[in-house]
Structure 1
């Protein structure tokens, strides 16, 4: 039986990112975010380009710009721009055999469930960054965090140590929820405020 958990997590993360982007108040795109060097606009562009990279790693091609130097500008309709990218990513993953063991990703080849979870982790954490930066009450769900955590445990320390793409992990109190624990592991302050 094929493991579909990665697809479920990816779908949930994409839905979360869509909801957050659609809910950004018109004047809030310039807001500070937990990514201290980037505005909400830049985090949006980083997340959009990263997702584009996950899809294009499978179908061929390169993202339209460097995700680590995102523009501080928006398209006329950010939700439509994002939706186009997320639909392409979903189609790329849906076209793979369910037992794929070496799916190309920006992080190197991963089994299909882990590849989908890697794309999901990126989408979900940046959705959270945008949500808290723009004052939205749209927390990362416990279920989504639970689906992402096995991939995070497998890859994040390597990415943090080798490429400095995550801040150091933070401590959380005993009994912290899965979402709070994941955010802290990814170097975020789960209680960040602008």
Structure 2
């Protein structure tokens, strides 16, 4: 997923997951092969109908400058999504990291999350800022061997295995040549999960 055609393909996929659906944003967390395996923000789509320029919806260019300039000051959800770009998840840590290892999707509801005693990593991961901005449902899906997709909705969206399968199906054709012939740590861990 490193080439520009793959990058534009990724943006189209993320956009397609939000258009004419209940999902307000889609983020792709890419698995990075380093000394310790991590998932980092690769790209995102945010469906902001209040945006004057519709071309601004599809990605987050110049995120750092926009955060510091106050660009998102009147858009709490845009700010929450932009802040996610700073997160890095270790494989197996936090909800995103655990989904990557287990291969099992997670459906998270704001009302259950807010009323439960939240662990420190969930606060750190920015869940609270998303919920405070109006997000009611977050779904996190592993797309082996690429990484993880995260969607957020302003509505309570009940678990839908068809959506999970659709997300995995649309990512299947995107092949990253760097992992094409080598089993990824995500694939290996799914065969014998270390965290079960």
Which one has the bigger strand percentage?
Answer: 2
Higher relative contact order (CA 8 A, sep 6+): 1
Which one has the bigger helix percentage?
Answer: 1
Taking structure 1 as the reference length, the TM-score comes to: 0.28
Taking structure 2 as the reference length, the TM-score comes to: 0.28
